[in-house]
Structure 1
């Protein structure tokens, strides 16, 4: 029985329905996640798929709209659970921890959408729950992020034109700085799949604090 799992978070059609999708950090997200999935399956690791839903919202995350599904090119195989969450992290509103406990999992690799939101939050919670976490940045996606004072009705053009907007590069850097050495080991797809040796980035134990 493997002690490791790959958790794929919110790589779903909902995001592709948003105009900001064209400005995402990782056009090859399906390919990158697919490489991690293939490697996990070869190793015999558990693959867990997570989707985000906002029932009754009328938006792209409302299951009634038909977009709460994996992006074409990704699909579970028999024995790989698909969980649906309604919180930012993948633990609070699902039975993910139970699934992992039953499978004897102690090490989790995470990828998905968005880098600094659901994927980072799941990583932090997973570390606090005692799992050894690996965060695969180049198998995540983020978007230009507007300042909190910009109206929610702002268009993509207005978001991009605002000098306060954080670029995808800035969002990725902030997430890696926050996680590495505290909550997770930051790796690349190539490192995780064995295509290149690990770069020796700082690894933290599950109990790291401070």
Structure 2
């Protein structure tokens, strides 16, 4: 598995710190699990791919290149094999990610990063449609509470993540935990 696998770390960037919905408390459990997944991938020799999002539709906004915030959050290790910048919700459409993966014989993607229901979920769907095997590590994705625009109901991080698992499972991705991935990578290392 590790020989044909890459870990995608999507949008873990400083831009989010400057959005009104950002909640530091929502980041703590996610950050711990993201770092554990990265460490497991690194130990297994799985390439780590950073994807950052830039958006010039809001000039000077936190996702614009000119903001200086389209860069890794301070706690994210600088151990990426490659970094791509995207301008849409998935990591493939306007990047060279697909070519990079193909050139290395990678056909299994492990999805992690920010936000669970947006760029992470969208990347998982597109990757599946492109023929990749996708493992979605929900606990290594982070998001923030969201308010429904019509009903006004606030959905918690747990509710959003549960919904994402519901719609991805056995259709677009296998839902995995950090421990699942670490164990699978260790097994490959022992067998290899």
TM-score by length of 1: 0.80
Please state how far the C-alpha of 1:63 moved relative to its aligned partner: 1.5
Q: Confirm or deny that 1:121 pairs with 2:122.
A: yes
Please state how far the C-alpha of 1:67 moved relative to its aligned partner: 1.0
Q: Kindly tell me: are residues 13 and 22 of structure 1, through their superposed partners in 2, closer, same or farther at Cα, counting changes over 3 Å?
A: same
Per-residue CA distance 1:169-201 (angstroms, 9 max, x = gap):
221111000011111111111222239xxxxxx
Partner of 2:41: 40
Q: Confirm or deny that 1:15 pairs with 2:12.
A: no
Q: Confirm or deny that 1:168 pairs with 2:157.
A: yes
Partner of 2:176: 187
Equivalent in 75, 78, 81 of residue 76 of structure 1: 78
Please state how far the C-alpha of 1:148 moved relative to its aligned partner: 2.9
Please state how far the C-alpha of 1:149 moved relative to its aligned partner: 4.2
Please state how far the C-alpha of 1:11 moved relative to its aligned partner: 0.7
Equivalent in 53, 65, 68 of residue 66 of structure 1: 68
Which secondary structure does the structure 1 equivalent of 2:95 belong to? coil
- Count of residue pairs the alignment pairs up: 183
Larger Rg over CA atoms = 1
Partner of 1:178: 167
Which secondary structure does the structure 2 equivalent of 1:2 belong to? helix
Which secondary structure does the structure 1 equivalent of 2:119 belong to? helix
TM-score by length of 2: 0.87
Per-residue CA distance 1:94-135 (angstroms, 9 max, x = gap):
111001000110111010110010000000000111111000
RMSD: 2.1
Please state how far the C-alpha of 1:35 moved relative to its aligned partner: 1.6
Alpha-carbon distance in structure 2 between the residues aligned to 1:149 and 1:59: 26
Tell me which of the two structures has the higher relative contact order, counting C-alpha pairs closer than 8 angstroms and 6 or more residues apart: 2
Which secondary structure does the structure 2 equivalent of 1:30 belong to? helix
Alpha-carbon distance in structure 1 between the residues aligned to 2:127 and 2:25: 25
In structure 2, runs of 5+ residues without a counterpart are 185-192
Alpha-carbon distance in structure 2 between the residues aligned to 1:34 and 1:71: 12
Q: Kindly tell me: are residues 24 and 98 of structure 1, through their superposed partners in 2, closer, same or farther at Cα, counting changes over 3 Å?
A: farther
Structure with greater helix percent:
2
